[in-house]
Chain A
Amino acid sequence: MKRIRPPSGKGPAKAQTGIIGLDEMSGGGLPHGRTTLLSGGPGSGKTLLSLQFLVHGASARKEPGIFVALEETSERIIDNAESFGWNLPLLRRQKALFFLDAQPTPDLIQSGNFDLHGMLAALDVQSKQMKARRIVFDALDIVLALLPDHVTRRREIYRLHEWLLSRGLTGIITAKTDADNISSNSHQPFGFMQFMVDCAVILNHCVLQGVSHRSLRVQKYRGSSFDENESPILIGVNGLEVATAPAPIPSRGKLRTSRVSSGIKRLDTMLGGGYHRGASVLITGLPGTAKTTLSGAFAEAACRRGERTLFVSFDSDANEVVRDLASVGIELSRYVKNGLLRMASARTITGSTETYLARIKTYANEQAARCVVIDPMSTWSTSGHDLSAHSVAERLTDWSKSQGINLLCTSLLDEMAMQSQSASSLQISTLADTWIHLNYLVQAGERNRGLSIIKSRGTAHSNQVRELILSDAGVTLADTYTAGGEVLMGTLRWEKESLEQTAKQDAAVAARLHRVRLDAEEAELQVRVKSLQTELVAKQVEKALLISTAKMQAGKRLRGRTRIKELRGSDSPIAGGSKPS
């Protein structure tokens, strides 16, 4: 046991299974160097789970493995697993994986007692040769059924268990059981086995309301804590996946304060700038209240920002959605073409809600999406029972939060739900950060779409009911007109709008007229100012002329007087009377 790398440092060492969810449930994997019993009914995924455990060990953990096929032949197992992309032929060539065909042949004749020494001796050689660390005995019940009595069965199980322990191999023994009567008399050896092994996992496959559900439960795990609840499993494209319930208070991802646009400018204003980055948004409403249009607008805005987006439509074909949205000015086709937007029609996904969740996650990962739109989510409650649908919705919300993905879900409300005022049958309204409700308002003989924000965490938001207007130019919210405490919509709004328009026009004309009049008066005054100025200049000239004439006359007079004096020959002039010039 020294060569084992314990993942947590304490408790028994674990052998990672590589199965999403199972490692989380069991705190790191199956007990290393010990035996795990995997029991379940037909088609519950025993072979798949154990093979995936070996493949993960061989390809990712450098732990070669041996698969002892006691029921199906190895060729068939390899064939069946081909679609998961595990590349089994390569692993076999690399001697990291070995298949041992040990099916009892149908023409095998049995006479008396026998034991498993032969198999163990063969496996000893093989495991030493390839340094195997993991081993799977698929369908041990087949061999045990050949043994005559309980005592010998027990003895052989014990022998096998001892052998596994002594070789330090991490083993999985699978065995068939009928649903849950595992410890009843008919399956006594397995009951015994459950007490013997260190870890027991039960797989279950049942049909609820016509929908297939697979689940997994860790029954016991010595020396380790584990998730004891039954968790849904599903067979995805890469193998088995366990959908674990959300861990209590998971890391909710980085808190973001930035905003993303809803795709409708005026709605952004109502929300105080848009949705929070990484928030989950719920749009509820009756059929035809433009839920899809709102989600389309959101998707378009995301693509315009260059963010990769996934649009999952549950009730119509992807192409139909693109076409229908184009009619209201939301052009998604070019984003679909350049790969920024992936449209997925979920009508092609059949199966339980767990399958939906897994597919959505896979698609979102493939697309590396930052925004995910699900339209509508409420179809989930029709496939499978409400409880699982709610749990799936919860996990989806949690998952998108932890990934920092903006999730926008729409939910159909039926009349019944409206009456009881319970928001949505999935009750995801409590999970959503922003909840926008669309409604028909009947007023003056018209049905108009009304939009209101019921809640929006962490953002100031408008409390007003606004009218949502769809036109071929796009989607917008109309200005609000209130009259007598009612928001006016449709024709009433239009009337009010046009009334206001006319009043505005009248005022504008009056203002223009006034201005023209003032202009004329100004011009007139200016003309008058000019003529007065001219008059002024004339007067000034006249005045100057007058002054100069007077001077001239005075000089003349003086000169005349002097001349007279000279002529008279009188005395010198009076002192100071005149300067000598």
Chain B
Amino acid sequence: MTRPAQFKFRLYVAGDAQNSALALANLTAFSRAHLKDRHEIEIVDVFREPKRALADGIFMTPTLIKLAPVPVRRIVGTLSQTQPMLQALGLEVRPQ
């Protein structure tokens, strides 16, 4: 199960809004559990960098973008459900 692929995430949050805080916590926990030592997370606050949000087409917060490995994927929401996360990231199709 060792994969060389390095995961690059960008998480768009809306300041310290509840949904955004939840998403960040969920993402951190998820990465620690499934992608230990092979991920990096960039956090973009849409209030601080709204132009970036506009350019990237981020309209719903929180939004997670998986930049690497390809394909690029977008996940909207608090990331509270693990199973859809795993599927979306192509990590696990079948639970063991």
Contacts and interface: CB of A to CB of B under 8 A. Distances in A.
Interface in B2-32: 12, 14-15, 17, 19-20, 22-23, 26
A108 B19 CA distance: 18
Contact of B75 (A101, A109, A117, A143): A109
Contacts of B76: 104, 108-111, 114, 146
Contacts of A114: 19, 60-63, 76-78
A105 interface: yes
Nearest to B58: A118
A111 B59 contact: no
Interface string A97-118: 0001110110111111111111
Nearest to B59: A119
Interface string A104-139: 110111111111111101101110000000000000
A127 to B, nearest CB: 11
B39 interface: no
A113 B46 contact: no
A146 to B, nearest CB: 7
A124 B46 CA distance: 11
Contacts of A119: 58-60
B41 interface: no
A115 B59 CA distance: 9
Interface string B66-90: 0000000111111111001100100
Interface centre among B20, B22, B26, B46 (most CB of A within 10 A): B46
A112 B61 CA distance: 11
Contacts of A117: 14-15, 17, 20, 46-47, 61
Contacts of B22: 112-113
A278 B1 CA distance: 90
B34 interface: no
B57 interface: yes
Contacts of A102: 57, 59
Interface in A335-358: none
A121 B50 CA distance: 6
B13 to A, nearest CB: 8
B77 to A, nearest CB: 4
Contacts of A115: 14, 17, 19, 60-61
Interface residues of B, number: 34
B53 interface: yes
B14 A111 contact: no
B84 A111 contact: yes
B63 A112 contact: no
B8 to A, nearest CB: 17
Contact of B19 (A113, A121, A146): A113
Contacts of A111: 75-81, 84-85, 88
Nearest to B46: A121
Contacts of B73: 107, 109
Contacts of B15: 117
B33 interface: no
A124 B47 CA distance: 9
B69 to A, nearest CB: 16
A110 B77 contact: yes
A122 B49 CA distance: 9
Contacts of A125: 50-51, 54
A113 B59 CA distance: 14
Contacts of A118: 12, 14, 46, 53, 58-61, 63
Nearest to B26: A112
B77 A121 contact: no
Given A117-B46, A118-B61, 14 more contacts: A102-B59, A105-B74, A110-B76, A111-B79, A113-B77, A113-B78, A114-B61, A118-B12, A118-B58, A119-B59, A121-B50, A122-B50, A122-B58, A146-B76
19 contacts: A100-B54, A107-B74, A110-B75, A110-B76, A112-B23, A112-B81, A113-B78, A114-B62, A114-B76, A115-B61, A117-B20, A118-B12, A118-B46, A118-B53, A118-B59, A122-B51, A125-B50, A125-B54, A146-B60
Interface of B: 12, 14-15, 17, 19-20, 22-23, 26, 46-47, 50-51, 53-54, 57-63, 73-81, 84-85, 88
